Chains A and B, each alone.
Chain A
Amino acid sequence: QVQLQESGPRLVKPSETLSLTCTVSGGSINNYYWNWIRQPPGKGLEWIGYISASGTTNINPSLKSRVTISDDTSKNQFSLRLTSVTAADTAVYYCARDYGFDIGGSEQYAMDVWGQGTTVTVSS
């Protein structure tokens, strides 16, 4: 059974860089797509971006200038870097797998496995 676990600093100072890692167990990141999603306190979900099994990334245009997603296949991990953070970046950060369900020969994707989430606060 695939499990995801986020890790990284819980407190980041304004203007600094937020760095998180998602460790995948029970499956390989050499398949599917691997996402980062965040949820500000009391608000809804925001997709940050994903990295594919081949290492291609796709980032939310609203965050593209500040976000890098990378992977380390030797450790079965993928990571998020968000630069120049402000209080608006305070959120629970989740990693999630994008799984392609086979629907009549075509793949329909959905985030079927999520990490438990990690709360990151931006404050001096």
Chain B
Amino acid sequence: QSVLTQPPSASGTPGQRVTISCSGSSSNIGGNSVNWYQQLPGTAPKLLIYNNSQRPSGVPDRFSGSKSGSSASLAISGLQSEDEANYYCATWDDSLNGWVFGGGTTLTVL
């Protein structure tokens, strides 16, 4: 049981916009910034979004993040087949005094 709650799966067709939610509490998302990671099959996770909504260099602007209260969202617009991956949210938890991850969302491009 992960501290952060994500839907196990999401899907969309090419060109569509999809969103993935991440729900937490006041001890984690409510008081700290959220990062998102993309894990393509058989590879290590890659930083996709940091500080709720900022993209590292090289990440397409099709990916965007937002946070409101104790929840966060990742949006992917103009969905492409290469976006098929697992997506994880993560943040610092003040009660645990450590990093916590969501359970991950498997995105399928139909």
Interface residues of A (CB under 8 A from B): 35, 44-47, 49, 58-61, 94, 96, 101, 103, 108-112, 114-117
- B31 CB to closest chain A CB (Å) equals 13
Set of chain B residues within 8 Å of A112, measured between Cβ atoms:
47, 50, 56
In the bound complex, what is the Cα–Cα distance between A49 and B100 (angstroms)? 11
CB distance from A44 to the nearest CB of B (A): 4
Interface: B24 (CB within 8 A) = no
In terms of DSSP, what is the predominant structure of the interface of chain B? Answer: strand
- Known interface pairs A58-B98, A103-B51; A94-B45 also in contact (CB < 8 Å): yes
Assess the A47–B37 pair: CB atoms within 8 A.
no
What separation, in Å, do the CA atoms of A101 and B90 have in the docked complex? 15
22 A-B pairs in the complex with CB atoms less than 8 angstroms apart: A44-B88, A44-B102, A44-B103, A44-B104, A45-B37, A45-B101, A47-B100, A49-B98, A59-B98, A61-B96, A61-B97, A61-B98, A94-B44, A101-B54, A108-B50, A108-B51, A109-B92, A111-B35, A111-B37, A111-B90, A115-B44, A116-B43
The residues of A that contact B101 with a CB separation of less than 8 Å are 44-47
**Residues of B near any A CB (own CB < 8 A):** 2, 33, 35, 37, 43-47, 50-51, 54, 56, 88, 90, 92, 96-104
Note all chain B residues with C-beta closer than 8 A to A94. 44-45
Whether A110 and B98, one on each chain, are in contact in the complex, defined by CB atoms closer than 8 angstroms, is no
